[in-house]
Structure 1
């Protein structure tokens, strides 16, 4: 099974649409919701750099190195962020989920959890992946907590392996979910989404 094949992934809260130039304006608005780009440890681009960021991701996609998505919130049909499959290892097969950011108003609403459930389900059940990894800047504690909440296992601290947009060199926290973990993780994520939906109703 070939991995990183573009496809629309739809849940109850969000729809993941393969990224295109048509998403630039909506994402420019979304990144200003909560001033996500002001957080030095995130991958969110500044509004004026959004077109360049989308172009760079599409270039990576054309090389078979990434499959980026725009995240659309179904409740109001607004774009709320970006997420990607990246760093594919077809021989295993394995893939990473990363370069994720969501608008401030989407935090703690279940949209990130459902987006990850959609992507993990597709990776394990459609592509037959044996492993899905996640990485976060060591000091990005909100992202690390979100990854841990998914049920991913912490694998270690990788020293001095990334350069931030500020020019600083920093460390990475690495996590993974394997195909052996997937049954329990899937049940856990469905429970989180159901609990969030119930509490919001």
Structure 2
């Protein structure tokens, strides 16, 4: 089941997984299975055309990815989403690339003990978009 409330709980779960704390305003969605969160997105720093997206997952489904895409494009009206991941988190980098994100840069010591890699994904590059419903 995909849920968007309680968003503070989702943000705390995602933040705990990636080692950051989120401060309002933000929104969030998660996939819940067996009463527990298995994956979640937090959306913050909305700038009309772009939103910063944080993701954590024990298991990531196409259903949740499509829901996140719909939220970014349809609800927020954004043309792109920005992601940051730890430079030492190779599985997250691979997952972002599978989503259609492209590496755009590096932020030194962003996580304190590690650099961040900055990824961006454009509306037209998202492989699980509205036009791939049957994929």
Whether 1:172 aligns to 2:128 is no
Query: Match for residue 80 of structure 1?
Result: 38
Query: Match for residue 94 of structure 1?
Result: 50
- Rounded to whole Å, the distance in 1 between the matches of 2:133 and 2:99 is 7
CA 19–82 in structure 1, closer or farther in 2 if over 3 Å, else same: farther
Deviations 1:8-65 (A, max 9, x none): xxxxxx41322356x58xx6xxx9xxxxx7xxxx516xxxxxxxx8xx64xx23xx2x
Between Structure 1 and Structure 2, how many residues are aligned? 131
CA RMSD, Structure 1 to Structure 2 (Å): 3.0
CA 144–128 in structure 1, closer or farther in 2 if over 3 Å, else same: same
TM-score (norm 1): 0.53
Q: Is the CA contact 1:131–1:179 (under 8 Å) kept in the aligned structure 2?
A: yes
Query: Match for residue 122 of structure 1?
Result: 71
Query: Match for residue 2 of structure 2?
Result: 15
- Rounded to whole Å, the distance in 1 between the matches of 2:31 and 2:79 is 25
Could you tell me which runs of 5 or more consecutive residues in structure 1 were left unpaired when the two chains were aligned: 1-13, 32-36, 45-52, 192-201
Could you tell me which runs of 5 or more consecutive residues in structure 2 were left unpaired when the two chains were aligned: none
- Rounded to whole Å, the distance in 1 between the matches of 2:134 and 2:92 is 20
Matches within 5 A, 1:107-118: 107=59, 110-111=60-61, 113-118=62-67
Secondary structure of 2:88 counterpart: coil
Query: Match for residue 153 of structure 1?
Result: 102
TM-score (norm 2): 0.75
- Rounded to whole Å, the distance in 2 between the matches of 1:157 and 1:180 is 23
Q: Is the CA contact 1:81–1:102 (under 8 Å) kept in the aligned structure 2?
A: yes
More helix by share: 1
Q: Offset of 1:149 from its aligned partner?
A: 0.7
- Rounded to whole Å, the distance in 1 between the matches of 2:134 and 2:36 is 23
